[in-house]
A and B are shown apart, each in its own frame.
Chain A
Amino acid sequence: MRTKSVSTWLLLWVGLAMAGAACAQEGNAEAGREKAATCLGCHGVPTYSNVYPTYHVPKLGGQHAQYIVSALKAYKAGKRGHSTMHAQAATLSEQDMVDIAAYFASVPRD
């Protein structure tokens, strides 16, 4: 009996954890499209370049949503050094991040 109740709790806990993880990943591409207006000021201009050092602003169309969220979090936490992206990411909530990521991920790839 004791074993059973422990396993029941364990199952419930695992189930809740999975549901929580699934919720956290859920982004709304349509909402993200609107929230991405600022992003597109740089990421939406083909051939647009960063300066000092000079390199192209990366393409995001067709990128994995999960990766975009982790990159945004790293910019926010200062684990990626880029002052503009740090400032941008700092203003975003977790929901903003997943929505924006869902939008870029929804763009058809080549």
Chain B
Amino acid sequence: MLRTSITIMLLAVSLGVAHAGDPAAGKDKSQACAACHGKTGNSKNPMYPRLAGQYEDYLFQALKQYKSGKRQNAIMKGQVANLSTKDMADLAAYYASQKGLVNTTP
């Protein structure tokens, strides 16, 4: 019983860890993104969204959806095609760690 609980807990932890990205690794992987989104994710061109300060899990979700086609965008589709799940998690962690977007309260 105890062993089963521990196994379940470890499994839950490892699943959680799979989504937690490494911001430093994300920074290294962000060079292609920087061309449109800016070095820290504060894009200058208003066509492209600011990513800096956005929630990590939302960014990760958006990347996955570009990859799956649930979000259709020709540029992003090409960009995410070669990204692994770990790459997407790292990139999301990097941009979330930067200063930029804020919550808006009524």
Q: Which residues of A contact B (CB under 8 A)?
A: 37, 40, 43-46, 53-67, 70-71, 74, 79-81, 104, 107-110
B105 adjacent to chain A (CB < 8 Å): yes
Q: Is the interface of B mostly helix, strand, loop or mixed?
A: loop
With A44-B106, A108-B102, A110-B99 as known contacts, state yes or no: A80 contacts B55, CB within 8 Å.
no
Is A63 in contact with B57, judged by CB distance below 8 angstroms? no
Q: Which residues of A contact B100 (CB under 8 A)?
A: 62, 109-110
Please give, as numbers and ranges, the residues of chain B lying within 8 Å of A107 by CB-CB distance.
Answer: 102, 104
- Summarize A's interface: helix, strand, loop or mixed: loop
B103 near A59: Cβ-Cβ < 8 Å: yes
Provide the residues of chain A in CB contact with B99, threshold 8 Å.
109-110
Do A110 and B105 form a contact, CB below 8 Å, given A59-B53, A80-B70?
no
Q: Is the CB of B104 within 8 A of A70?
A: no
Q: Contact check, A56 vs B57: say whether CB atoms are below 8 A apart.
A: yes
